[in-house]
Amino acid sequence: MRRADLTDRAAVAAALADVDAVVHQAAMVGLGVDLGDLPEYVRCNDLGTAVLLSEMARAGVQRLVLASSMVVYGEGAYSCPDHGPVRPAARTVDDLSAGRFDPGCPVCDAALCPELIGEDAPLDPRSVYAATKVAQEHLTAAWVRHTNGTVVALRYHNVYGPGMPRDTPYSGVAALFRSALEAGRAPRVFEDGAQRRDFVHVRDVAAANVAALTATGERVGGQAGKRAGWRAYNIASGRPVTVGEMAAGLARAAAGPPPVVTGEYRLGDVRHVVASPARAAAELGFQATVPLTEGLTEFATASLRG
């Protein structure tokens, strides 16, 4: 086992000796605390990826599985009763402060219906972290064109499970809720708790990586026996819930206090992002198997990282 900074070219080169494929999970995660985090996000996520790709090209390693994220989409997919599929603008401080959390139609301002988002949707990053994940995807796509390599980009949705980091503002919402419950505090749910997400267990994410790694050597994008270059996949359960429902389920599993809906917000957050997992099922043979109730029961007492 090696431990090294991904921006260290010599260390990366040494780690690539006798390697056939790379599964790239390294990243600084979360929305960030303030814009002072921006240089470190870019250094870790984008410079680190650039060094890795450069050294992979030098070593002749042509297979990559990239841990991407649902955040590349920004808001999820929506439709307006009168104008069909639309992309809402970023939410404003005025609207959020007034408790108007759901975006309106950009044409008529009517209420929108959230729908499943597919991998071909336009990318619209709305946080520093999201911008670095889009950059990772673009860097790997450029690498494919220059090397004839193969990249499978796995767009993880809300991952939860044993081993998540605890008590850090960079954690996902599941870890923050779990840490609060462990300390005897009620989970604090932002906005009105009705924002929709797709929570996928870490074991399912691991299985998706195995499927993607197999696919880079066998079949990607429906092309048997032929490299397909670059391809993205939603990695999700296909069973979306609200953040409030998830917090309540975790509180029950932990026998802790019920969640408190605070009305607070973060400007970089988006309202609804739920995925279509159909492409991953059809092309990678991947389907999530851990039900949320079962996963939350385990997560309520699982060990976390300090």
Report DSSP letters for 148-193, one per residue. Answer: --EEEEEEE-EEESTT-B-S-TTS-HHHHHHHHHHTTPPPEE-TTS
Q: Given the DSSP bridges, would you call strands 22-24 and 63-69 parallel, antiparallel or unpaired?
A: parallel
pLDDT attached to residue 225: 40
Q: Rounded CA gap, 93 and 270, in Å?
A: 13
Instruction: Report yes or no: 114 and 77 within 8 Å, Cβ to Cβ.
Output: yes
- Residue 116 Cα to chain centre, angstroms: 15
List Cβ neighbours of 201 (8 Å cut-off, separation of 6 or more). Answer: 159, 160, 161, 237, 288, 290, 295
CB 155 within 8 A of CB 235: yes
Reference 306, options 168, 160, 158, 159; nearest CA is: 168
pLDDT at res. 169: 60
List C-alpha distances in Å: 273 to 31, 65, 234: 15, 23, 11
What ranges in the chain are assigned the alpha helix state H?
9-15, 38-41, 48-59, 93-97, 128-147, 173-182, 202-217, 243-253, 278-279, 292-299
Q: Provide the 3-class DSSP secondary structure of residue 2.
A: coil
| pLDDT value at residue 222 | 46
To 5 degrees, how large is the angle CA 20–CA 142–CA 76?
100
Residue 140, token pair as written in the block = 């790997």
CA–CA distances in Å: residue 7 to residues 61, 138, 219, 229, 286 = 18, 18, 31, 25, 32
Per-residue confidence (pLDDT) for residue 81, from 0 to 100: 95
Q: How far apart are CA 217 and CA 224, in angstroms?
A: 10
| CA distance linking residue 13 with residue 64, whole number of Å | 15
pLDDT, tens only, 94-136 = 999 999 999 999 999 999 999 999 999 999 998 889 999 999 9
Cα separations (Å) of 56 from 107, 249, 284? 46, 43, 24
* The pair of three-digit structure tokens given for residue 195, joined into one six-digit string: 């924002």
Give the three-state DSSP class for 67.
strand
Low-confidence ranges of the chain (pLDDT < 50): 219-227
pTM over 0.75: yes
Supply 174's token pair: 């599941």
Q: Is 225 helix (H, G, I), strand (E, B) or coil?
A: coil
Rounded CA separation 61/144 (Å): 11
Give pLDDT, residue 31: 63
How far apart CA 149 and CA 228 sit, in angstroms, is: 9
- The identity of residue 164, as a single letter, is M
